[in-house]
Chains A and B, each alone.
Chain A
Amino acid sequence: MAETAASHAHAPAHAEGTNYLNAQKGLMSWLTTVDHKRIGVMYLISTLVAFGLGGTFALLVRLELLGPKKDFLTADQYNQAFTLHGAIMVFLFIIPAVPGALANFVLPIMIGAKDVAFPKLNLASLYVYWAGAIICLSAVLTGGIDTGWTFYTPYSTVTSTSVISMTFGVFVLGFSSIFTGLNFIVTLHKLRVPGMSWFNMPLFLWATYATSVIQIMATPVLAITLVLLIAERAFGLGIFDPTLGGDPVLFQHFFWFYSHPAVYIMILPGMGIVSELIAVHARRRVFGYHAIAYSSIALALLGFLVWGHHMFVAGQSELAGVIFSFLTFFVAIPSGVKVFNWLATLWGGSIAFTTPMFYALSFLFLFTIGGLTGVFLGILSVDIHLHDTYFVVAHFHYVMMGGTVMAFLGGLYHWWPKITGRLYNDGLGKLACIIIFVGFNMTFFTQFILGSRGMPRRYYNYLDQYQPLHAFSTYGSWVLGAGFLLSLFVLMTSLRSGAKAPANPWGGASLEWHTQSPPVTENFPGTVEVKHGPYDFNAEGTK
């Protein structure tokens, strides 16, 4: 099934200064590459573009909410803006970002492999991602979409906007996600070098493995959901549309059977990155390696048992509500196990306050808030008050943005020297992180208060009493945007003027730090030997 590109046949003979970036030149060498590192870089650029696009819509939404009533968007335009913000961020950025970009780059190197198991499938997943993205964005040109990123029926079966192109695009993107997950599972099973046992793997890989399991098990259900939704619109199938005898709550079951596990597709890789960041930048062996590894798997499995907590007030039966609420609390256990183990790792470590460590600490702070407010929402009676308010919006953003995006940026700064071979300005990097942290809390902590006071989500208009808080949140979004721009600026300037990165700038112990920066095309010039564990910071060559 899998095999090599013609150029790889002679790869072992590397000239001095050769690396995967300059081994071949020209646009076509990138578009036809099967090198997981180049595919990872292309994923990185694509997802960052999506992040910028989704962020722009977020800023538009916040700007509209600066004052009550219409500011500059009509109600319809507002609906489209928050839908596009959600759909782009979820399907085009946060789901593919860490697996597609960072894990794609470091996973094979971390296990000492030359590539993923199916390199062509890996490239195919990128092309499928592009195709899906184009189909999704074509919806903007053909009438927009105003259903919210969840495409809930019955509205999505009757709205005149282009639901079909958006959902078909998401359907296609699902294949990209499945291909990536499938590839990683096979790679981790079959391509670990001798000596790289399961419990010798960096924890990021355990998290990636758990993510891949979810991608395999959950994504096809989203696919069939969207196919049924498209058929409902096209043929009036009568499964989801209540006027034809269907059940809109069934759509929510279908949708959340994917989309609840999908939030673990989003957060688990972030947790994996944070495990790396904290260990490497505190120079201490991870506390409770096995506990963190197993908790990743536990989260992946538990994530399949709790989807009904999105539907407590949607007309779901009380019996199901009670079961789902009960099970939801169990998710807090593996999450708590992780947080406490990270804290225990920091305790007594020699913490280096680098940019990645700043992001890791931000993650710890923000994810803990996001996780605990999730427990509030899992309580049936509390959820009836908080459902569909800004409290939910704030909770979601604390986990997804405060959690995953912070971890993603931390990972990006952590592996940037490895990916590009350049060092960046650490001081400016930290400043950007602080600005993002402050802006984030200004934007979203406010929304906890708004939500608990009853401000419903997805409204472009609101009562005057909410105006000061909404305005403060909007100011925060500007600070947040400025932080991201500065962060981008730091990385871009490093490409032009950054110092050349050594092979191991942080003193890491996992295998990716034992090859040059940037790595050669097949990752390691010679055979790979696993001499010590991923967190043996006293071993030779990690000082």
Chain B
Amino acid sequence: MSASHSTAHAADTSKLSPQFHVAHHFDSADEQFDSAKLGVWLFLVTEILLFGGLFCAFAVFRSWHLEAFVSAHHHLDKVMGGINTVVLICSSLTMALGVRACQTNNQKQATAFLIATLLFAGAFLVIKYFEYSHKFHDGLLPGRYFTYAGAKYPDEKIFFGIYFMMTGIHGFHVVCGMVLIGWVLLRNMKGHFSSRYYVPVECVGLYWHLVDLVWIYLFPLLYLVG
């Protein structure tokens, strides 16, 4: 049903994305679209391997210092982490629906969904901020700055070193994602996107889902099993 909906609109292309054109070195709009997506997927691969290094360090040190890691992870707040997981999952949904709204030429809906995604992303960072400030207050800091007196094992400081690197770099990606979402939001409000041209929204969406994917693994590893 929705497919026929979009083709009906595609018949009248003159009003859709008036600036859109196929660049000189591409043969067709489809080829240009596929190229952009292929490029983004390759970029996502680099992101996966970037985080992969952190997961590798986590795996190695967890297996060396299992008791310390299990003990250290009890200092993390499962509830806050869980809420943040839900927030990110919701933001992923609104991002996907935002792309879908562009695909179906629903500019207003797309704007609403993109704004919602931005708000969820902001909420994630705010919750993260409270978590961080709590850790700072307790002295649960990486390596050399670890001053928490109640640690049972000295190697708990390594857990927090890895925790701050993982969540910090993830948080940095959330900030980058917010900038990108803001960019496509502005372009959408200017009417640049439609069913024939929405590849920036799609690509930012892919990036945003990857940020969510990384968190899907970070949350259980850091908060739940430690």
Asked if A and B form a direct contact in the complex, defined as CB atoms under 8 angstroms apart, the reply is yes
Query: Which residues of A are interface residues toward B (Cβ below 8 A)?
Result: 1-4, 8-9, 11, 108, 113-119, 121, 178, 181-183, 185-186, 189-191, 216-221, 223-225, 227-228, 231-232, 235-239, 241, 244-247, 250, 253-254, 522
Contact assessment for B42 and A4 in the assembled complex, using a CB-CB cutoff below 8 Å: no
- Asked if A2 contacts B36 (CB within 8 A), the reply is yes
Chain B residues packing against A (C-beta within 8 Å): 21, 23-26, 31-32, 34-36, 38-39, 42-43, 45-54, 56-57, 60-61, 65, 141-145, 154-155, 157-158, 161-162, 164-165, 169, 199-200, 203
Contacts of B32 in A (CB 8 A): 1-2
Other-chain contact of A219, B46, B165, B203 (Cβ < 8 Å): B46
In the bound complex, residues from chain B placing their C-beta under 8 Å from that of A247 are 60
**Bound: A113/B25 CA distance, A:** 7
Residue in A121, A190, A224, A245 whose CB lies within 8 Å of B53? A224
Name which residue of chain B comes closest to A113, CB basis: B25
Distance (whole angstroms) from the CB of A168 to the closest CB of chain B: 15
A236 x B199 contact (CB < 8 A):
no
Known: A1-B36, A3-B21, A220-B50. 19 other contacts (CB 8 A): A2-B35, A3-B24, A115-B25, A117-B35, A178-B46, A186-B35, A217-B45, A220-B48, A220-B49, A220-B53, A221-B52, A223-B50, A235-B164, A236-B142, A236-B145, A238-B161, A239-B165, A246-B158, A250-B60
Partner of A225, one of B43, B53, B157: B53
Residues on A with C-beta less than 8 A from B51 are: 224
Say whether B26 contacts A2, CB under 8 Å.
Answer: yes
Return B70 CB to nearest CB of chain A, in Å: 16
Q: Indicate whether A237 sits within 8 Å of B21 (C-beta atoms), given known contacts A182-B43, A227-B169, A245-B154.
A: no
With CB as the reference atom, state the residue of chain B lying closest to A1: B36
- Contact of A220 with B46 in the complex, beta carbons under 8 Å: yes
Q: Is the CB of B49 within 8 A of A245?
A: no
Considering the complex, give the chain B residue whose CB is closest to the CB of A215: B46
Residues B143 and A237 in contact, CB atoms below 8 Å apart:
yes
State A49–B24 Cα separation when bound (angstroms): 33
Across-interface contacts of A244 in B (CB, < 8 A): 143-144, 157-158
Determine the distance from Cα of A224 to Cα of B57 in the docked complex, in whole angstroms.
Answer: 11
Given B42, B143, B157, which contacts A186 in the complex, CB threshold below 8 Å?
B42
What A residues does B35 contact at CB under 8 A? Answer: 1-2, 117-118, 186, 189-191
Query: Smallest CB-CB separation from B48: which chain A residue?
Result: A220
Residues in B with CB closer than 8 Å to A254 are 53, 56-57
Knowing A9-B24, A245-B155, the reply to whether A190 touches B31 (Cβ < 8 A) is: yes
Contact residues in A for B162 (Cβ distance below 8 Å): 237, 239
Candidates B42, B54, B158; contact of A238 at CB < 8 Å = B158
A78 CA to B106 CA in the complex, in Å?
66
Shortest CB–CB separation between residue B30 and chain A, in angstroms? 10
A8, A117, A217, A223 interface centre (most CB from chain B within 10 Å): A117
Closest to A236 in B: B144
- State whether A182 touches B155 (Cβ < 8 A): no
Chain A residues whose C-beta falls within 8 Å of the C-beta of B34 in the assembled complex: 190
Q: Which residue of B lies closest to A217 (CB)?
A: B49
Closest 9 CB pairs of A and B: A236-B144, A224-B53, A238-B143, A1-B36, A3-B23, A236-B143, A114-B25, A220-B50, A237-B161
B136 to chain A, nearest CB (A): 13
Interchain CB contact under 8 A, B46 and A216: yes
Residues of A within 8 A of B144 (CB): 235-236, 238, 244
16 A-B pairs within 8 Å (CB atoms) are namely: A2-B23, A3-B24, A4-B25, A11-B24, A108-B25, A119-B25, A183-B39, A220-B50, A224-B52, A227-B165, A231-B165, A235-B164, A236-B144, A239-B165, A244-B158, A254-B56
Cβ distance A186 to chain B, nearest Cβ, rounded Å: 5
Is B50 in contact with A221, judged by CB distance below 8 angstroms?
A: yes
Chain B residues, Cβ within 8 Å of A241: 143
Nearest CB on B from A435, distance (A) = 42
**CB <8 Å contact, B203 and A1:** yes
In the bound assembly, the distance between CA atoms of A253 and B53 in angstroms comes to 10
CB < 8 Å: which of B24, B31, B154, B157 contacts A8?
Answer: B24
- With a cutoff of 8 Å between Cβ atoms, the chain A residues found around residue B56 in the complex are 253-254
**A8 to B24 Cα, complex, angstroms:** 8
Instruction: Check if B157 sits within 8 Å of A191, measured CB to CB.
Output: no
Instruction: Report A120 CB to chain B, min CB distance, Å.
Output: 10
- Which A residues are in CB contact (< 8 Å) with B142? 231, 235-238
Cβ contacts under 8 Å, A219 to chain B: 46
Task: Check A216/B42 contact, CB under 8 A, given A228-B53, A235-B143.
Answer: yes
Cβ-closest chain A residue relative to B157: A238
**What residue of chain A has the Cβ atom nearest to residue B64's Cβ?**
A247
Residues of chain A contacted by B141 (CB below 8 angstroms): 235
Q: Inside 8 A of A9's CB, which chain B residues have their CB?
A: 24
Question: B42: nearest residue on chain A (CB-CB)?
Answer: A182
Nearest-Cβ distance from residue B107 to partner chain A, whole angstroms: 21
A522 contacts B24, CB within 8 Å?
yes
Contacts of A227 in B (CB 8 A): 165, 169
CA distance A118 to B199 in the complex (A): 14
Complex CA gap A349/B82 in Å reads 69
* Chain B residues whose C-beta falls within 8 Å of the C-beta of A11 in the assembled complex: 24
Q: Which partner residue on chain B sits nearest A219 by CB separation?
A: B46
User: Within the assembled complex, what's the spacing in Å between the Cα atoms of A241 and B161?
Assistant: 12
Are the CB atoms of B158 and A245 closer together than 8 Å? yes
CA distance A533 to B39 in the complex (A): 28
Residue of A at shortest CB range from B203? A1
Query: Which of B51, B53, B154, B165 has its CB near the most chain A CB atoms (within 10 A)?
Result: B53
| Separation of A340 and B79 alpha carbons in the complex (Å) | 63
Chain A residue at minimal CB-CB distance from B22:
A3
C-alpha spacing A191/B161, complex, angstroms: 45
Contact A228 B43 (CB under 8 A): no
Residue of chain B at shortest CB distance from A108: B25
Contact partner of B45 among A1, A216, A250, A253, CB < 8 A? Answer: A216
Interface core residue of A185, A224, A227 (most chain B CB under 10 Å): A224
**In the bound complex, how far is the Cα of B52 from the Cα of A223, in angstroms?**
11
Q: Does the CB pair B39–A221 fall under 8 Å?
A: no
What chain B residues lie within 8 Å of A185 (beta carbons)?
38, 42
